[in-house]
Chain A
């Protein structure tokens, strides 16, 4: 092992400082007693208390959560189906268009996706609200899910499935007991990705939300436009905390799952 050079140590330190200092300061100042964001007025959790009393934020959080869970579940089902089509269905008419429609939303500017969906909802006379945000989020996140799942499926040994079919499984049984357990980690991380994309989205939600449904990012955006506030600091700290815990738990469990799978494979060989 080479000794880390000073250049690499400096790059790492500066790089991580750049990424993390803004967020660390935000977290520290969410416990600031003073309303003035730049002045430290002593430790306090009062902004968290005020946040919990703020009906508008709580409502928006509830809408966001609802949209996130429903849209990412739809996206996971559709995205997994699409991954199967991409990897397994072979040739069929319109395949190029299909894969184009899977990859295009990944690079599409959000303003265009949002605008086009809004114009669609208006053209068919759909009232804007939770349902329209769900449809919009499910559409763009299913593409992310299908990319995640199809990359896992591409490295998957099809003969396992064929063996199950030879041994008398119905196609559905073979899918349930062979394919699904193998692609399950990819499907789960696809769901998680779809969920965070939905929680995070401002632009598409702004186009597709109606007056009856406001999501948390829309609410945060409109208050950030007015300037920095301790309440938003508290809210951001909660979100950063939840995401950090989520990512850590997910990375530890997936590491364990991979280790277990390796062990099982070893046992099966012996």
Chain B
């Protein structure tokens, strides 16, 4: 092994260990500590200069108290359940809107497709925060949707969408739509039209050919899109904090408030550890799906 190769491996490796792995171990450690009114606001802290007795005292001070508290306090359990519910439903709505959208792009005339794709990607590059802000201008009580509906006379009082869970759903669908459309488009684009014709020749109706050929072949893209929406939606902070109301419970928001408002760092760390545990299963499933897809393509 020559020096250049060793250096090439060591530099990014060391960087990631120092700034990704070690911070996690710290979160895990603090989640086992106790809250204290001090700086930093937790005990015990590891005093390296005290040597072995210091380490023993530190070790003895760690316990699972925060996790016991989280599992007993209904607020946190509710927050986890409601995050899961919101993320699942929002993913479903995104799929419902994203699939016809991707399908239409894949079936558009060849020479339009690059421009249509660019139009999908463009919002993805535009600031996330600004897109949510733009949405507030539409759905707030004096926003354009209400103005328009009242002008047409469909409703006489403004619809209250802002600061409810509905606004959070709209926000997630709006901001994550490109993540759903792009992978589905990628699978639909490769779909061979003659397969559909063959299915119809063999006696399928158009609908059943669609379900058994198109949907079946687009499955890897649909699954990838669903994970790409579900995983970030579960830990989302900005959308529930700007669009949701005080009753919108999502775990990312709870973690933020526990940390910045209550300054209970050990509890915030415990919330983070559990969020990570909840996410590990979908992440592993997502990786498997990607791997299977890659192998099929080879």
Q: Please, what's the 1-or-0 string for B274-298, where 1 marks a CB less than 8 Å from any CB in chain A?
A: 0110010001001100000000000
Nearest chain A residue, comparing its CB with the CB of B46: A123
DSSP class of B's interface residues: helix, strand, loop or mixed? helix
A139 interface contact, C-beta 8 A: yes
What does the 1/0 interface line of B94-132 toward A look like (CB < 8 Å)? 000100110111011110000010111111011111111
Of the candidates A25, A38, A202, the one whose C-beta lies within 8 Å of that of B142 is A38
Chain A residues lying within 8 Å of B242, measured Cβ to Cβ, are: 221, 224-225
A117 at the interface (CB under 8 A from B): yes
The number of chain B residues with a CB under 8 A from chain A is 82
The answer on a CB contact under 8 Å between B131 and A107 is: no
Inter-subunit contact A109/B130 (CB<8 Å)? no
| Contact residues of A: prevailing secondary structure | helix
Closest residue of B by beta carbon distance from A16: B119
Is A203 located at the chain interface by the 8 A CB criterion?
yes
In the complex, which residues 1-49 of chain B have their Cβ closer than 8 Å to any Cβ of chain A?
4-5, 8-9, 11-13, 15-17, 19-24, 26-27, 30, 40
> Is A58 interfacial (CB 8 A cutoff)?
no
- A72-117 residues at the B interface, CB under 8 angstroms: 78-79, 81-82, 84-85, 89, 92, 94, 97-98, 101-105, 107, 109-112, 115-117
Q: Does A266 contact B (CB under 8 A)?
A: no
Task: Judge if B256 is at the interface, Cβ distance under 8 Å.
Answer: yes
Task: Check A7/B100 contact, CB under 8 A, given A23-B131, A119-B26, A243-B125.
Answer: yes
Binds A, one of B55-63, B66-74, B215-223, B231-239: B231-239
CA of A82 to CA of B147, assembled, Å: 52
**Among candidates B16, B23, B110, B138, residue contacting A98 with C-beta atoms closer than 8 Å:** B16
Shortest beta-carbon contacts, A-B, top 8? A109-B235, A116-B23, A22-B134, A8-B104, A15-B101, A11-B100, A11-B104, A120-B23
Give 8 pairs: A residue, B residue, CB < 8 Å, sorted on A. A11-B103, A12-B108, A23-B131, A111-B237, A115-B27, A116-B26, A243-B127, A247-B121
